[in-house]
Structure 1
Amino acid sequence: MKIAIVGCGNMGMAFAKSFLQYDLVKKENLLLIEKSTERSQALKAEKAGVVVDTIGPRVAEYDLVILSVKPQDFGSVCDALAAVIKPNQVVLSIMAGIPMSQIQQRLNHPLVIRAMPNTPAMLGMGITGFTAAKEVDLTNLRRVENLINATGRSIFLEDEAMLDAVTALSGSGPAYFYYVVKAMVEAGRQMGFDEGVATLLVKQTMLGSFHLINNADKSLDDLIKAVASKGGTTEAALRQFEAGSLADTLVAGIRAAQVRAQELSNG
């Protein structure tokens, strides 16, 4: 398989490196298109693939074209790609807020798949929601799904509108996690720990708790109850969280992210 990636920032390169790691593509069959001179030179030094700075006729030689550019660059990128794209090529977009219909129209090309990954994909531990235009056949869909799974896990969505919810929940989700970690580290500092010790305590707590969620045959409520003894310290903290409507605030924030994603998708 031959793959071209347009835009080689963090997410584009997360995909590229995962494909190479799992031997899903050979370096000589991986085209990296990066307009930044500095970034392009760095990619050439890394020898991660064939590096060019513009979309040209050679893109037509590739089976899959991945669009990993900022939404504001969508128009110019699609105009350049439309001039060279071939009917049998599949386009995978990981651009935020650009619906498939808009990509299809701008490219005059039906074979479009849209995905929303998150930043843990850079470690091969991401989760990606994806959907596909009806013109994409099952063979191509499975092929792209296999590629996406190299960056972690994936979930297929029949309804493209649900990608806005994916954006809000898992796409933006790492930032919410970091926000909570930051607050816990600050609490540790206020209680007398230096930042390094507070960070270690919180990071290891988060890591261990993740594994308990993943491996314990218990609900989240049961896991909370297992820590929160009646009249104890954890219960005191949880009461304070409830008094401040922390859970409701988190839900409201995530729903606000969904609304914003919908606004971007609707132009």
Structure 2
Amino acid sequence: MKIAILGAGNMGLSFSKSFLKYELIKPESLHLIIRNPSKKNKIAEEFPRSQISTFEEITELDADLIIIAVKPQDFHWVAQNIRFSVKENQMILSIMAGINIEKIQKSLNHPLVVRAMPNSPTLLGMGITGYTAADGISFSQLINIERLLNSTGRSVYLENEELLDGVTALSGSGPAYFYYIIDAMIKAGMEMGIEENLSKLFVKQTMLGAYHLINNSEKNLEELIQDVASKGGTTEAALKTFEENSLKEILKEGILNAEKRAKELNS
């Protein structure tokens, strides 16, 4: 399979590295297309056997799969400024937030579109990607796409494309929510007199342990909370403060606003 990636930013490059790591494509079969020519040499050092081009240089694109990895705000520019036409047998995989299949089809005048939403842990091969496909995509084509997505972590097929905006808000943006909470915990540790690196160690290892407990326990989240929160104890004091300040509702509202923004990106 020959793959071209429009937009070699963090996500486009992490996908490329995963495909090459698991030998799903050969380096010579990878074509990275960038908007900023100043980045060309640096990317060429990372991918010495792959083709690196700018958008202006491409008048014809030899690829079985074209991955659109630009920011959603830049998609209109890309659709207006690419100098090549998408061929009948080429497939498009979009990993842009918010831009729906119909808009991509109309903008590029091409029906074979798969839309996916990965998240940043794909950089380590530990991401999760929700994806869906336009009518006309064959089962075998979808299996090939899934193999590529699974090289970056896990993938989940969604029948209903509208759910992808929710996936964007939940898992696409999700890592930032955890970083935000972790940052608050580290700063609380420092305020209590714990040195920054030690505070980071306690918080990160606590997060890692909690993750493994969730995965390996038959108890639900409420039961796991109660296991830690003894009556009249320290955990209960913290949880009471969270409840009094509606922390859970604030988090839910933020995630719902992220979904709203994903939908706005398509307008």
The residue matched to 1:5 in structure 2 has which SS? strand
Aligned ranges for residues 63-74 of structure 1 at < 5 Å? 63-74=64-75
- Alpha-carbon offset, residue 79 of structure 1: 3.8
RMSD (Å) for aligned C-alpha atoms: 1.4
User: Counterpart of 1:165 in 2: which secondary structure?
Assistant: helix
Aligned-partner residue type, residue 260 of structure 1 = R
Q: How far apart are the structure 1 equivalents of 2:52 and 2:214?
A: 42
Conservation of the 8 A alpha-carbon contact between 1:120 and 1:126: yes
TM-score by length of 2: 0.95
CA distance in 1, matches of 2:166, 2:35: 31
Tell me the CA shift for residue 84 of structure 1. 2.6
Give the match for residue 259 of structure 1: 260
User: Aligned AA for 2:132?
Assistant: T
Q: Tell me the equivalent position of 1:121.
A: 122
Q: Write out aligned runs for 1:6-45 (5 A).
A: 6-45=6-45
For 1:10 and 1:135, the matched residues in 2 are separated by 30
Tell me the matched-pair count: 265
Map Cα deviations across residues 193-248 of structure 1 (whole Å, 9 max, x no partner). 12111111111111111111112222111111111122211111111111111111
Distance apart, 1:76 and its partner CA: 3.2
> What corresponds to 1:204 in structure 2?
205
Secondary structure, aligned partner of 1:218: coil
**Is residue 223 of structure 2 the alignment partner of residue 222 of structure 1?**
yes
Q: Tell me the secondary structure at the aligned position of residue 99 of structure 2.
A: coil
The one-letter amino acid paired with 1:21 is K
Runs of 4+ in structure 1 over 6 Å off: none
Cα-to-partner distance string for 1:137-167 (whole Å, 9 max, x where unaligned)? 1111111011011111111111111111011
Q: What letter is aligned with 1:56?
A: I
Q: Which residue of structure 2 aligns with residue 182 of structure 1?
A: 183
**Could you tell me how far apart the structure 1 residues matched to 2:170 and 2:261 are?**
12
Superposition deviation, residue 94 in structure 1: 0.8
CA–CA distance in 1 between the matches of 2:2 and 2:59? 15
Equivalent position of 1:46 in the other structure: 46
- Deviation of 1:103 after TM superposition, in Å, equals 0.8
User: Per the alignment, in what secondary structure is the counterpart of residue 129 of structure 1?
Assistant: strand
The alpha carbon displacement at 1:38 in A equals 2.7
- Residues of 1 paired with 2:235 and 2:195: CA distance? 22
Q: CA deviation at 1:125?
A: 0.8
Letter matched to residue 161 of structure 1:
E
**Corresponding residue number in structure 1 for 2:161:** 160
Distance 1:244 1:80 in 2: 49
Conservation of the 8 A alpha-carbon contact between 1:20 and 1:26: yes
Is 2:125 the partner of 1:139?
Answer: no
Q: Sequence identity of aligned pairs in percent?
A: 54
- Kept in 1: contact 2:97–2:165 (CA 8 A): no
Aligned to 1:76: 77
CA contact (8 A) 2:20 2:26 kept: yes
Distance in 2 (alpha carbons) for counterparts of 1:29 and 1:75 = 27
Post-superposition CA distance 1:54-98 (Å, at most 9, x none): 262441x21100000122321232245573321011000111221
State the match for 1:91 in structure 2.
92
**Which amino acid letter does the alignment assign opposite residue 213 of structure 1?**
I
